[in-house]
């Protein structure tokens, strides 16, 4: 049983998985290889001079794994509530998770299939997005959404930030107080 299943391993999904796994939550990140970020050459991400999309995705996935997340390559075809958790169904396997974050980029087919509320997108070339509240919660309790699929500006710094934001909100809700993840740099004397 996973605490959280993150669907998507683009900047939004991987960033969420990094925060969740680093906080000690049993985290699964599932992706089908169809991130739009594969096609990007990124020169506007703060703190990174230049990086290709495939490199960013690879680094994000391995960072999530280093923090303890499991990563699976699969197509999620359905998400069904089963008592106190969700069954995340892929073409080959079913995973159980207490909560789910949708970070599926331009793809809203899964969200629409499971019945979360959607609305028209406002960003260029983004037709439909998941309707989320300010926390990142969807219309289905326990299912959150982050990144392009949640309607934020389609730039890696923003989608990654949104994934982190939603993970922090989820962690804060579990903790019952605002969650902060700060490591301290101690320069050598
Ligand atoms: C040509 C191009 C150039 C770009 N250049 C820049 C740039 O210079 N600077 C910049 O900031 N941004 C750029 N972008 C935009 C940037 O790549 C995206 O805005 C952003 O990274 C999207 O992040 P995301 O995590 O929301 O979605 P994505 O990166 O698209 O990730 C979506 C994830 O969901 C997964 N997924 C979807 N459905 C399923 C399913 N049913 N089951 C399993 N997995 C699923 C996919 O596998 C993927 O891992 C560019 C985009 C393009 C297309």
pLDDT tens across 35-76, in order? Answer: 999 999 999 999 999 999 999 999 999 999 999 999 999 999
Residues facing 188 on adjacent strands: none
CATH annotation of 2-175: 3.50.50.60
Residues facing 27 on adjacent strands: 4
In this predicted structure, the answer to whether residue 22 has a pLDDT above a threshold of 90 is yes
The mean pLDDT value of the chain amounts to 98
Centroid of ligand 1 to alpha carbon of 92 (angstroms)? 24
Give the whole-number percent of the chain exceeding pLDDT 70.
Answer: 100
Strands (E), 12-105: 27-31, 41-42, 51-52, 70-73, 76-82, 85-90, 94-102
Centroid of ligand 1 to alpha carbon of 57 (angstroms)? 9
In this predicted structure, the answer to whether residue 90 has a pLDDT above a threshold of 90 is yes
Average pLDDT in the 111-122 region?
Answer: 98
CB of residue 42 inside a 6 A radius of ligand 1: yes
Average pLDDT in the 166-178 region?
Answer: 98
pLDDT at 189: 82
Phi, psi of 129 (to 5 degrees): -135, 165
Instruction: Give the residue carrying structure tokens 């969650």.
Output: 179
Centroid of ligand 1 to alpha carbon of 11 (angstroms)? 7
Centroid of ligand 1 to alpha carbon of 174 (angstroms)? 28
d(CA 67, CA 161): 18
| Domain regions of the chain by residue span | 2-175
Protein residue closest via CA to atom 7 of ligand 1: 42
d(CA 126, CA 135): 21
This prediction has a pTM of: 0.98
DSSP 3-state assignment of 133? coil
d(CA 92, CA 112): 21
CB of residue 159 inside a 6 A radius of ligand 1: yes
When computed from its CA atoms, the radius of gyration of the chain, rounded to whole angstroms, is 16
């Amino acid at each position: 049983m996973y605490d959280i299943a993150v669907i998507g391993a683009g900047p939004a999904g991987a960033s969420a998985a990094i925060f969740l796994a680093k906080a000690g939550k049993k985290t699964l990140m599932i992706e089908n290889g169809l991130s739009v970020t594969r096609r990007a050459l990124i020169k506007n991400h703060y703190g990174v001079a230049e990086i290709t999309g495939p490199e960013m995705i690879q680094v994000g996935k391995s960072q999530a794994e280093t923090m303890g997340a499991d990563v699976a390559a699969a197509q999620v075809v359905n998400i069904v509530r089963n008592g106190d958790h969700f069954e995340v169904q892929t073409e080959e396997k079913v995973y159980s998770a207490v909560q789910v974050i949708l970070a599926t980029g331009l793809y809203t087919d899964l969200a629409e299939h499971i019945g979360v509320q959607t609305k028209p997108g406002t960003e260029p070339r983004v037709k439909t997005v998941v309707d989320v509240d300010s926390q990142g919660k969807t219309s289905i309790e326990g299912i959150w959404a982050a990144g392009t699929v949640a309607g934020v500006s389609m730039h890696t710094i923003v989608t990654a930030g949104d994934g982190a934001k939603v993970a922090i909100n989820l962690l804060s809700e579990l903790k019952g107080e605002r969650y902060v993840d700060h490591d301290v740099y101690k320069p050598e004397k």
